[in-house]
Structure 1
Amino acid sequence: MQREHYGHTLPENMTEPQLEFVACPDNQDGHRMAYWLWGDAQAPHLVVCVHGLTRQGRDFDALARTLLERSNGRIRIACPDIVGRGQSDWLRDPNAYQVPTYAADVFAMLTQLHAASRIESLDWVGTSMGGLIGMGIAGNTQLPMPAPIRRLVLNDVGPVVNREAIERIGAYVGKSGSYDSVQQAADAMWALSTGFGAHTPEEWLALSRPMLVAASSRSADGRSKVVAEQQGGPYVLHYDPAIGEPIRALTPEAISQGEAIMWALYDAIQARTLLLRGAQSDLLSSATAQAMTERGPRARLVEFENVGHAPTLVALNQRQVVADFLLH
């Protein structure tokens, strides 16, 4: 991985995140959402980083370290494992794997973080699904937020999601098998993820390890999980296969209604907004991206060549764009 240096040496306790949990209500018995907390737990400036559909909060390790280095550690960063992924619980009702549930869970996390130490400045980085959640929260002016979202980064997502991309995603989510080794799993994930753009083998392995869990360690509800490094294979992906069910159930009518709702939310956003797009993205069209620069918060658009859906924010130039936007 490329490294940049800003003359700052971070304390040892800021080079890795702490795993925290928040209790979230639902129509069953409630569930827990995990989140990875980086930096100064008392810092008034909070950046929330939310991952894509099948991913998890450790996707943002490289970005978190860059933000900490650039801010000399005077920031806290929360990277949730959205429910059904990573260290978070699985839902008993697969139909609840949708943006309103996710937004409510992140709001519960913000409430908990604010109670621990006052949030005075709040920024959001959302990749794909994480961007949809961000639009849902930033565009809802009635939410009693600890602080309004000041700056919003939407990573390769907008109010309109191309239907071909929905079909592509629905075809593979929740349908993977087991793998004999971490490398075998990483290779299989790469075959589905070349749109992420070029990565070194080391970078891709770092992104892949948190996506895996020893099959023997996972209970039916997704709890009691052990990450891949701590136990031998076989390995399975670290998410509930049922997260794909609501996507495969989408009808053209539901998609159109969802787009109308998301445009209304986008138009209500007051945060300064940065829109990132992989130049070869099949999820966020260039037409939708252009429209987003002309309405609502009038996002500033940055495109990355030789990248599809979605930029991983691991490459140095991608991290620098985000850090410049959030820290200046």
Structure 2
Amino acid sequence: MSYLWPQDVLSAIENGQLSPKDAFRYLRDMDQSILPASRQDGSAAHQRVEEIMRELDSLIGLSEVKKLVREINAFIEIQKRREKEHLITDPLVLHMIFKGNPGTGKTTVARILGKIFREMGVLSRGHLIEVERADLVGEYIGHTAQKTREQLKKAYGGILFIDEAYSLARGGEKDFGKEAIDCLVKAMEDKKDQLILILAGYQKEMENFLQTNPGLRSRFPIHIEFSDYTKQELMQIAEQMCAKRQYKLSPEAKALLEKMLVPPTRNSDENFGNARTVRNIIEKAIRRQAVRLVVKANTTREELMTIEATDLAEV
């Protein structure tokens, strides 16, 4: 079995990949690997970081994002080396802004960053807590601070990822969202060694959000833009999704899917979901294929694996 992240062990049990007994043994055996960075074997930690980087590289597209993640990784490593040599180091302020449309990989990249930062000793746990406005903003005075602190507490040692973060400022000065922002800013200062905050959302809306809160921009030194996927990349994502499920697209299905996929640059629908849209199409096509085949008394392996153009046409 490939290397499992500690918080993924429970999922492995639920999916039948590990028995409870084997999971216990697995966690016991990896005890050395979850020691604080100061007590870890450097080469082992480096090897795990490289393994996580390969996971990042396996994602379709995102070339600029991958480049920036490697820059961040290199920066952290060099600061640690400088500290060993008693040289002046820059503070590791790693709070980030992710700008991009839905389905462009923001949450996936945030989760990978958590793993990298954990292996490098920047974060103690490296887990990801994903929230939105409703998880932070309360209904009465004092309720918002309480809800926000609860989410922050869950995220300590890892990353708090706030999707559509600009919604926190949409109600103006009297909106409780401002209270959530104030609480988050305070935590960024008080718990700066225990937490990384990532604010995510549409590019235009995030820019407007930062302009309405001038103090926020300086607190987020890292801005990553997630470009929309090209049609070719969307097709690669579709084929990758199929392969993972042991399906494949017939030549006619590929041709039809290419016509169906219209990236946002040429699409008037601002809600186009990039990889999310592709996933929805493939999952619906798989269900339609099932309906088409279930009436047959006998099916071949090839039929069970192949998605035909008719399955996509139904979508």
The normalised TM-score by structure 1 is 0.24
Instruction: Name the structure with the higher strand share.
Output: 1
The structure whose residues are more often helix, as a share, is: 2
Q: TM-score if structure 2 supplies the norm length?
A: 0.24
Which has more radius of gyration?
2
